[in-house]
Structure 1
């Protein structure tokens, strides 16, 4: 699946310069057109966000201070954690065989329940996750959840806020030569996310990726 670049026509120029962007299925244009309030929330949060070198170097995983701060900014605007649970009723009807003296159908019903995964925030018909430094398997969970919610008719698009890898690693080494910060390549970052988008893991769901990068540093 090819990446699209609709964000170039709807994202303010200042934000195009401060973050790295990627998308499939023209996600940015779709979010803005179908959920303008949620789009403005995204623009406002990204505009206000500042990354400092000290914060970048703080040890911790995906729920570090940076991630919590971003999530809180969205929650202040009405975004809430959400999960799609599905319940399917399977019905089997066995038709009677009259030569054997059977007169009535026999019906069996089985309920199958599937609990989904939480997204960090949902508002309107947009889901959003912040993936700063988690295991990269989280990206499979996020995209799979977006796909399921989209196919069920509850979602117009998904947004993932993540980070770049190599440029932030260079800054970390310059600040602290002995650091192991950003050494691991199996954590969530844009390089890990893009292949999942281009191989179509999200199905028909538009997905927009925004990556904090060296240019985001205050």
Structure 2
């Protein structure tokens, strides 16, 4: 599939895209305004070396970069809960199968049948989640949430952004403020594209179309200068 007709060309070098369940086609054709806003968010994303040195979770400045761009467009974090109402209808005539009464003889409510499913951003029927550096099991939670929203008829497509594998090249070259290689913080058991795609390949998203987006090293504004600096150091050490 040629994804270039669905994605602005300037984004193809900064991000990698994996299309599951025709998510790109749905975004492009059915939600052009939301897709335009997400692409604008991707376009404006710029990470510094200092950004990636900082701790993950609430201390990381990276999620806030997405907040600052998407909130003015009307994207909001959402949590849903719902009760399941089960109606039991008796057979109308004892001798005939498949014929049921118009009114139930019993109604049962299962409170909190769905509950606690958070999504970082939702607008209209498009869901968006960011996972920069959490434990990789977080993807299971995200995919379950999007699957639940989809099965409940609340969304038509989901987008999940995470780190591309090539960012490891940067993490292996940089030390944090304590002198530790960053790769120790951004390990194999954290959220990155390799941990997401194998879950999508095994259809843990159910029927929900998902666009997986990987942040590549071109999004790191200082990387070119850092790479040149490290290259010069290697030349010096070889002399």
TM-score (norm 1): 0.84
Q: Which residue of 2 aligns with 1:192?
A: 195
Q: Which residue of 2 aligns with 1:34?
A: 30
Q: CA deviation at 1:41?
A: 0.6
Q: CA RMSD in A?
A: 2.4
Q: CA deviation at 1:183?
A: 4.4
Q: CA deviation at 1:122?
A: 0.3
Distance 1:146-1:171 versus aligned 2 partners, 3 A rule: same
Aligned length: 206
Could you list the per-position Cα deviations for residues 149-196 of structure 1 after superposition, in whole angstroms to 9, with x for gaps in the alignment?
11222211000111124x323212322273244442221110000011
Listed as ranges, the gaps of 5+ residues in structure 2 are 92-102, 222-239
Q: Which residue of 2 aligns with 1:98?
A: none
Question: Which whole-Å CA distance do the structure 1 matches of 2:123 and 2:186 have between them?
Answer: 34
User: Which SS does the other structure have where 1:74 is aligned?
Assistant: helix
Q: Which of 7, 10, 13 matches 1:14?
A: 10
Distance 1:87-1:106 versus aligned 2 partners, 3 A rule: closer
User: Which SS does the other structure have where 1:115 is aligned?
Assistant: strand
Q: Which residue of 2 aligns with 1:130?
A: 130
Question: Which whole-Å CA distance do the structure 2 matches of 1:126 and 1:7 have between them?
Answer: 19
Structure 1 contact 119–127 (Cα < 8 Å) conserved: yes
Question: Which whole-Å CA distance do the structure 1 matches of 2:37 and 2:182 have between them?
Answer: 34
Distance 1:106-1:83 versus aligned 2 partners, 3 A rule: closer
Runs of 4+ with >6 A deviation? none
Listed as ranges, the gaps of 5+ residues in structure 1 are 96-104
Structure 1 contact 125–156 (Cα < 8 Å) conserved: yes
Question: Which whole-Å CA distance do the structure 1 matches of 2:21 and 2:104 have between them?
Answer: 47
Q: Which residue of 2 aligns with 1:172?
A: 171
User: Which SS does the other structure have where 1:133 is aligned?
Assistant: coil
TM-score (norm 2): 0.78
Structure 1 contact 147–202 (Cα < 8 Å) conserved: yes
Structure 2 contact 150–156 (Cα < 8 Å) conserved: yes
Residue correspondence of structure 1 range 134-153 to structure 2 within 5 A = 134-153=134-153
User: Which SS does the other structure have where 2:12 is aligned?
Assistant: helix
Question: Which whole-Å CA distance do the structure 2 matches of 1:7 and 1:71 have between them?
Answer: 26
